[in-house]
Every structure is written in structure tokens, then in C-alpha cells.
Amino acid sequence: MAEQRLKWWTICARVLLGVAFVALFLDSIATTVHWWRGQLGAPTVIDWIEIGLLPVLLLVYLRYFSVLRPDCNACQPPRDPSRRDHPGV
């Protein structure tokens, strides 16, 4: 019973962290674009933090979430050509 509760909490925590990451990533992109175009009037400390975090968030995205991550095999051909259940097919 305790293991199921721990697993449930782990799944919920991962989902919440993923949503928070996506929200921060998208807001950081929007803030950086507004700053780049000169549409950001007087940047606040939060704006500068979001602008500074954009490269870090981009690297985290590329390392853990994108198809460019090292352990992604979605684009690899199947090892056994007779099997069709491979995600790359």
C-alpha cells in the first residue's frame, strides 16, 4: 500500500514539475522575444531572470525532452525487420 502511494505521488510530482517547466520555458521565450524586439519597457528583476534562464531551460529541454536526447531511439530502424511495433516504423 505504501509503495502504491509513493508511486502515485512520484507520478503527480513529475507531472506538476513538467507543467511548471513548460510554463516557465514558454514565458521565458516570450519575455526574451519582447526584450529582443524592444517591446519590454522597463525590465524587472523577474524579466532578467527569465531572460538569463532561457539558455539553461533550452539545454534542459534538449537533453531530457526532445528527440535529440542521447537515449532516444524513435528514428532508428527496427532491429528485427519482421517486427512492426517499433516506434520508428
The answer to whether residues 88 and 77 touch, using CB atoms and an 8 Å cutoff, is yes
The per-residue pLDDT of the chain, averaged, comes to: 85
| Cα 22 from Cα 25, distance rounded (Å) | 5
DSSP 75: T
pLDDT value at position 88?
53
pLDDT value at position 81?
62
The pLDDT of residue 89 is above 60 = no
Please state the pTM of the whole predicted model: 0.70
At 28-41, the pLDDT tens digits run 999 999 999 999 88
Q: In the predicted model, what is the mean pLDDT of residues 46-57?
A: 95
